[in-house]
């Protein structure tokens, strides 16, 4: 027997029945959501030691072997009041979790970012500005992420900042289902600006109703001025749809315009409830006149939310996506190919 044949004989004795392992870990910005996702997958949430030293530096250590596993790291780059995390803390923590997983010989490292921080800074609006969402993408790739799973990005071009695969989920099915389960009548879906027309149109198509659009200008950052309504809203139940609600300035201005145009009721829906600054005070029904604000749990909510805010869980959608990524099945089939909203 030749040396080559002997080597082939030895290699053939190596066991080939490799079993893939799926592991889910949560960062401190999304610990509760990560636990819900793991529960949907019938898994125990992975054990990881995450700490912030007294000087503000972040530390990470996995407390179990992750060698050869597909590791899903759930972390929205958002603030979490209960754990004292800021968006920048969350981003840095995700980066060190990825690096630790890479050094521990994980097979694949997938960043599950239900809320992709810095997504609004996706282009240069003025000279000498950064494109910060691209910076985040480069950081994730350079530290070693293999794939990114996110939900309802603010802008489609964020996907183009990556060279690794980006799976884009949408909360539209769960949001539209919530409205279909309610006894609302004479619905019209309203886009707060021209940039969300496609979202409003798709939302209205799911509900089987008409849609309208508001004319909006931004004289300064986080300042919105609503001009007029294109479409019929008088006597209607208006559903304002957007991808996110931050300080709620746009939403409240839009609701006021709709009421001035004769809308019977105003309801709001968005995937991401950022709710920073004076958002809670503005959104209270007594201040805004918005009967209900429906969001998902892609971001952790701080205490003191007004009673008209309803939070739906995106855990099942994210769990289904994770399961399909792990088994190398089609992710877009979850949404029948309708998860590309841009």
The answer to whether residues 160 and 123 touch, using CB atoms and an 8 Å cutoff, is no
The answer to whether residues 290 and 262 touch, using CB atoms and an 8 Å cutoff, is no
Q: Is 216 annotated in the active site?
A: yes
CA distances from 92 to 73, 78, 117, 220, 297 (A): 13, 11, 12, 29, 21
Three-state secondary-structure class, residue 65: coil
* Active-site entry in 20, 123, 198, 216: 216
Query: What are the tokens at 303?
Result: 């205490």
The helix or strand, by DSSP H or E, that contains position 198, with its residue range, turns out to be helix 197-207
The answer to whether residues 233 and 261 touch, using CB atoms and an 8 Å cutoff, is yes
Looking only at the bridges linking them, the beta strands covering 48-52 and 210-220 are unpaired
From CA 171, how far away is CA 158, in angstroms rounded? 18
Angle at 82 between CA 284 and CA 73, to 5 degrees: 110
Three-state secondary-structure class, residue 308: coil
Of residues 251, 257, 290, 292, the one with CA closest to residue 274: 251
The answer to whether residues 230 and 257 touch, using CB atoms and an 8 Å cutoff, is no
Please identify every residue annotated as catalytic: 216
């Amino acid at each position: 027997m030749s040396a080559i044949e002997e080597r082939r004989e030895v290699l053939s004795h190596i066991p080939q029945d490799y079993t893939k392992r799926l592991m889910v870990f949560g960062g401190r910005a999304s610990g509760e959501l990560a636990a819900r996702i793991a529960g949907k997958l019938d898994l125990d949430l992975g054990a990881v030691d995450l700490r912030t030293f007294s000087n503000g530096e972040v530390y990470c250590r996995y407390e179990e072997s992750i060698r050869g596993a597909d590791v899903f790291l759930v972390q929205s780059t958002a603030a979490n009041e209960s754990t004292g995390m800021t968006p920048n803390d969350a981003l840095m923590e995700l980066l060190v979790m990825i690096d630790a997983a890479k050094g521990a010989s994980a097979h694949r490292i997938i960043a599950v970012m239900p809320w992709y921080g810095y997504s609004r800074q996706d282009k240069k609006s003025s000279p000498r500005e950064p494109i910060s969402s691209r910076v985040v993408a480069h950081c994730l790739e350079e530290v070693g992420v293999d794939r990114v799973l996110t939900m309802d990005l603010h802008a489609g071009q964020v996907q183009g900042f990556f060279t690794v695969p980006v799976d884009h989920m949408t909360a539209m099915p769960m949001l539209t289902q919530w409205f279909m389960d309610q006894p609302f009548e004479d619905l019209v879906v309203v886009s707060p600006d021209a940039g969300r027309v496609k979202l409003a149109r798709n939302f209205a198509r799911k509900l089987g109703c008409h849609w309208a659009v508001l004319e909006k200008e931004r004289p300064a950052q986080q300042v919105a001025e609503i001009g007029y309504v294109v479409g019929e809203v008088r006597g209607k139940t208006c559903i304002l749809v957007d991808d996110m609600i931050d300080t709620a300035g746009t939403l409240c201005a839009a609701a006021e315009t709709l009421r001035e145009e004769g809308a019977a009721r105003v309801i709001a829906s968005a995937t991401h409830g950022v709710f920073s600054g004076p958002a809670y005070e503005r959104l209270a029904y007594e201040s805004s006149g918005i009967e209900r604000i429906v969001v998902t749990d892609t971001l952790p909510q701080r205490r003191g939310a007004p009673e008209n805010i309803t939070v739906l869980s995106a855990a099942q959608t994210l769990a289904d996506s994770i399961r399909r990524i792990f088994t190398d099945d089609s992710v877009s089939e979850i949404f029948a190919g309708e998860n590309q909203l841009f």
